[in-house]
Amino acid sequence: MKKGVYSILKARFLVNEDATRNWRFIVFLFLLALLMIGNTHRFEQKVFRITELTNEVKELRSEFVDKRSELMKLKMESTVSEKMEERKIFPSSVPPQKIKVKKPVEKSFFQKLWQ
């Protein structure tokens, strides 16, 4: 047991005759570690991007609500009448009337033929 631990501490497994196998395994573990680090880095970038986009969506939604309420206020009849009074246009005292236009009925081919 003592000899095995001493051998590992001296790194004899890297200089023995069958060291190429050990080196391949070490290189494989090194590449695997690099792959895992890179993958974690990309994952964290995506998480930060998602957080950033979520905050942007919240800001845009609040801006949308503000603009919609402002628009509703501008569309009110009282606001429009105040703006038009500046241009000397006043609201009508007579209520509007609905105009109905009747479309003439077209005669069918056979009705035209028999006339």
Q: What is the pLDDT of residue 103?
A: 86
Q: Please enumerate in sequence order all residues whose Cβ is within 8 A of that of 74, keeping only pairs 6 or more positions apart, or say none.
A: 80
Q: List, for residues 92-102, the tens digit of each pLDDT value.
A: 888 889 999 98
What angle is formed at CA 68 by the lines to CA 63 and CA 69, rounded to 5 degrees? Answer: 100
pLDDT at residue 3 in the model: 72
In terms of Cα–Cα distance, which of 82, 102, 100 is closest to 90?
Answer: 82
Q: Which of 22-26, 53-57, 58-62, 73-77 has the lowest mean pLDDT?
A: 22-26
What average pLDDT score do residues 4-22 get? 73
pLDDT digits (tens, 9 = 90+) for 29-65: 999 999 999 999 999 999 999 999 999 999 999 999 9
The torsion defined by the Cα of 72, 73, 74 and 79, in degrees rounded to 10, comes to: 140
- In this predicted structure, the answer to whether residue 27 has a pLDDT above a threshold of 70 is yes
Q: What is the pLDDT of residue 1?
A: 62
Is residue 19 within 8 A of residue 13, CB to CB? The reply is yes
Query: Helix, strand, or coil here: 76?
Result: coil
Q: What is the CA radius of gyration of the chain?
A: 42
